[in-house]
Copies of this chain bind each other. A is one copy, B any other.
Amino acid sequence: MSSQFNRRDFLKQTGAIGAGVTLAELGHSAAALAQESEATTSEPDRKPLKIGFVGVGARGSCLLKILMELPGVEVRALCDIREDRVERAHRWVVEKSRPEPAGYSRGDTDFQRMCQTEDLDLVLTATPWRWHVPVCVAAMKAGKHAATEVPAALTLDQCWQLVETSEKQQRHCTILENYCYFRKAMTVLNMVRQGVFGELLHCEGRTQENWVAENWHFFDSDGTIGWVAEHLAQYNGNPYPTHGFGPMAIWANINRGDRLQTLVSMSSKSRSLANFARESFGAEHPLAQRGYAQGDANVSLIRSASGVTFTLYFGGQSPQPWSPEHKVQGTLGTCIGEMFDYRAGDDGWLQAKVFNQKEFGRWRNYWDYLEQYDHPLWKALGQTANRYRAWDWSGAYDYLMLGQLVRALQDGRKPPLDVYDAATWSAISELAERSVAGGTSAVDFPDFTNGKWKDNAPTDLSDV
């Protein structure tokens, strides 16, 4: 994908969004991506991208392995507080016949030495949440682009740190929000762009996970508390907003023609962490006796400058299977259901359904719309991406997300998700905490773009 093509396509898209992008134009883009798809698999000499990777635990390992599948990627440095993890990741890299990466595991902040020492284009972090901003800031200050797992930041101050450092250092900082790359979420994005729903009015997103069942950094068997549970013990808001919010933000052109203005947030009582501690260690154990701040359900309402509203649910502690439900409502129609690919015959999924004014009278299943509205990126690379479902449930989305990031940087383009996305989506955490602490008071969103949201062009995530 030449930058000549991209610029032309970008300009066309920018001009077309106002009047609604036509099918033909997206078809053009799809054809170009399809060509790229073939090129990708037969392009061993794509421009190298030198990457430093911080945090190669469970999630980091998955991302690292998929990164290694992308042409031109050279993982030159690995960093983790556990040396055995660095060694394990080192083996994976060498096994793929890539240059040997340097290893960093001298404590919590050894990523700083890595950023200062190594010649890297991009630093990726898949560390515990509180290290995302320190790693990204260190990377950008050392002249590297940065990419962070979600949430990008935990506080408003951290959000501003990302934005200010990115602007000052003129380095990109992207958020690795793979939910934006779900096939359904991207089909819906395409439908939004084609005007199926008319003018957008309201969206809903849900981050519903079963962290207790997975004991997701909650309690160790020796009775000590993990970093996620410690966070939930201290804060009451929405600790994990971006899975639910990211896809909606893209649909609604947040920071690209519209911006978030007001948020209120409400939390239910907190029961599940204390229950889990009691069941695990007995009622007398300190972990069963201490308080846990985070309510078992949290819902935030957000309103944009143009009057689009968003409902964002978080529930990670009580026993609920993963359920990434979304809704989009416009003046011509609506779509509601889970954004993860429905598996036919499995009662466990709420099928997504679509209603359009022109077909008045009944819902139609999402699948009836897929052929017409499948996203160009999925048309072009979906088959390749789906191979990685075997590696991890999110492999296909990680492949598309990382591919878009890597190709953008290789071509000298801005990644599809930028530092303003990272800051705005992650800001929901502290804003929700403030609102909950204030008795569900209304709080204002900072404008991290400093007015640039008015002129920024929308993205369709395929080509920025």
List the interface of chain A (C-beta within 8 A of B).
Answer: 199, 201-202, 213, 262, 264, 266-269, 271-272, 275, 295-297, 299, 301, 303, 306-309, 311, 313, 315, 318-321, 323, 325, 329-334, 336-337, 347-351, 353, 355-357, 360, 362-365, 439-442
Task: Decide yes or no: A295 and B309 within 8 Å by CB, A303-B266, A350-B337 being known contacts.
Answer: yes
CB distance B271 to A201 under 8 Å?
A: yes
- Of A297, A307, A349, A363, the most chain B CB neighbours within 10 A belong to A297
In the assembled complex, the CB of A435 is this many whole angstroms from the nearest CB of chain B, namely 9
Cα A377 to Cα B77 in complex, Å, equals 67
Cα A352 to Cα B54 in complex, Å, equals 42
Task: Decide yes or no: A331 and B266 within 8 Å by CB, A299-B301, A319-B355, A355-B319 being known contacts.
Answer: no
CB distance A264 to B307 under 8 Å?
A: no
CB distance A319 to B334 under 8 Å?
A: yes
CB distance B199 to A271 under 8 Å?
A: yes
Residue of B nearest to A308 (CB): B268
The residues of B that contact A309 with a CB separation of less than 8 Å are 266-268, 295, 297, 299
Given A297-B309, A347-B351, 5 other A-B residues pairs in contact with their CB atoms under 8 A: A201-B268, A213-B360, A262-B440, A321-B362, A441-B441
The residues of B that contact A347 with a CB separation of less than 8 Å are 351, 353, 363-365
The residues of B that contact A313 with a CB separation of less than 8 Å are 311
CB distance B360 to A334 under 8 Å?
A: no
Cα A173 to Cα B285 in complex, Å, equals 51
The residues of B that contact A272 with a CB separation of less than 8 Å are 331
Cα A22 to Cα B201 in complex, Å, equals 46
CB distance B348 to A307 under 8 Å?
A: no
In the assembled complex, the CB of A213 is this many whole angstroms from the nearest CB of chain B, namely 6
CB distance A355 to B440 under 8 Å?
A: no
Cα A41 to Cα B300 in complex, Å, equals 50
Residue of B nearest to A443 (CB): B440
The residues of B that contact A360 with a CB separation of less than 8 Å are 213, 319
CB distance B337 to A202 under 8 Å?
A: no
CB distance B348 to A331 under 8 Å?
A: no
Cα A275 to Cα B198 in complex, Å, equals 11
The residues of B that contact A356 with a CB separation of less than 8 Å are 319
CB distance A275 to B318 under 8 Å?
A: no
11 examples of A-B residue contacts, CB within 8 angstroms: A202-B299, A266-B301, A275-B331, A295-B309, A296-B329, A297-B329, A299-B301, A318-B329, A319-B360, A347-B363, A440-B442
Cα A272 to Cα B333 in complex, Å, equals 11
- Of A269, A299, A323, A442, the most chain B CB neighbours within 10 A belong to A269
Cα A268 to Cα B305 in complex, Å, equals 10
The residues of B that contact A299 with a CB separation of less than 8 Å are 202, 301, 309, 311
Task: Decide yes or no: A201 and B330 within 8 Å by CB, A268-B308, A350-B336, A350-B350 being known contacts.
Answer: no
CB distance B353 to A331 under 8 Å?
A: no
CB distance B442 to A439 under 8 Å?
A: yes
Cα A296 to Cα B323 in complex, Å, equals 26
Cα A303 to Cα B439 in complex, Å, equals 10
Cα A357 to Cα B271 in complex, Å, equals 15
Cα A308 to Cα B297 in complex, Å, equals 9
CB distance B269 to A201 under 8 Å?
A: yes
The residues of B that contact A333 with a CB separation of less than 8 Å are 319-320
CB distance B311 to A329 under 8 Å?
A: no
5 tightest A-B CB contacts, nearest first: A269-B307, A202-B297, A348-B363, A268-B309, A266-B301
Task: Decide yes or no: A332 and B308 within 8 Å by CB, A202-B296, A271-B199, A303-B266 being known contacts.
Answer: no
The residues of B that contact A271 with a CB separation of less than 8 Å are 199, 201, 331
Task: Decide yes or no: A350 and B353 within 8 Å by CB, A268-B307, A296-B329 being known contacts.
Answer: yes
In the assembled complex, the CB of A322 is this many whole angstroms from the nearest CB of chain B, namely 10
Cα A329 to Cα B296 in complex, Å, equals 9
Cα A173 to Cα B319 in complex, Å, equals 39
Cα A456 to Cα B383 in complex, Å, equals 60
Residue of B nearest to A363 (CB): B348
CB distance A332 to B351 under 8 Å?
A: no
CB distance A301 to B201 under 8 Å?
A: no
The residues of B that contact A337 with a CB separation of less than 8 Å are 350
Task: Decide yes or no: A440 and B301 within 8 Å by CB, A202-B296, A355-B321 being known contacts.
Answer: yes
The residues of B that contact A362 with a CB separation of less than 8 Å are 321, 348
